[in-house]
Amino acid sequence: MCLSRAAGPGFEGESEVTGPVAGVFLCIGQGPVTGQLELFYSRKGTAEQGLVRIDALDTAEYFIDFTYRFHYFEVPFLLRYRPAKRALALYAGVSLGVLLAASAKGTISNLPVDVDIRSDMKDTDVGLLLGAEIRTQGGLCFEARYSRGLISVLDAPEGAGAYNTNISIMMGYYLF
C-alpha cells in the first residue's frame, strides 16, 4: 500500500491518496551490507479540494474535488544494512520511475470530470528512498519506506513543479 501526495510550491493543501504497490526484489551480495534491486508497479497521486478560479479573468469561483492518479513502473536500487539474518534491516537508495498513465477524476461544481493528463506529466520520476524491513524466521518480511521525488512530475516551468512524496507499507516473502 502506498500513501502519497504532491509536494512543492502551490501544493501545500493537497491531501493523501492510497494506491497499490506490487513487484519483485533481488538481494545482491552477502553479509551485513548488500544491494537490492526491485521491479514494481506503484500507483501514486494526490487529492485536491476547495474553491479555485480557473478562467483567465479570475471572475468566477468553482468548487473542485479531484483525485489525481499516476501509474508508474519503478526500478529502485537500494543499499541495505542488516547486522544479522533475522535483525532489522535499514536501507537507502534511488528509484527511477517510468510513467505508464495519469488521470484526474472528480467534480467541478458538481459536474463530473474524468481526464487523461499524461500529456501534462513528465515521462520519468527520480526519487530517494529510506526504509526499514523486518524479516521473520519463515521468510516473510514487512517493510516501511519513505520516498521523495527529486524532479517535478509536472511538465511545468521552473518553480511550479510537483514532487511525489510517498509512505509505503509492504509485505513480501524471501524464496531463499
CATH number assigned to the domain comprising residue 97: 2.40.160.20
pLDDT at 68: 92
pLDDT of 84:
83
The total domain count for the chain is 1
58 pLDDT higher than 70: no
Higher-confidence position of 12 and 66 = 66
The count of other CB atoms within 10 Å of the CB of residue 13 is 9
**Of 155, 74, 63, which is closest to residue 113 (Cα–Cα)?**
63
For residue 132, is it within any domain? yes
What is the Cα–Cα distance from 166 to 147, expressed in whole angstroms?
5
- The residue ranking higher by pLDDT, 56 or 65, is 65
Residue 58 lies in a domain: no
155, part of any domain: yes
- pLDDT at residue 57 in the model: 67
- At 162 the pLDDT is 87
pLDDT value, residue 19: 95
- Give me the domain span that covers residue 143: 2-53+63-173
Per-residue confidence (pLDDT) for residue 3, from 0 to 100: 95
Beta strands in the chain (DSSP E): 2-7, 17-19, 21-28, 33-52, 62-81, 89-108, 111-116, 124-135, 140-149, 163-173
- pLDDT of amino acid 167: 96
Q: What would the mean pLDDT of 77-94 be, rounded to a whole number?
A: 92
| Any domain includes 75 | yes
pLDDT tens digit string along 143-164? 999 999 999 998 777 667 889 9
pLDDT of 56 over the 80 cut: no
Does a structural domain hold residue 118? yes
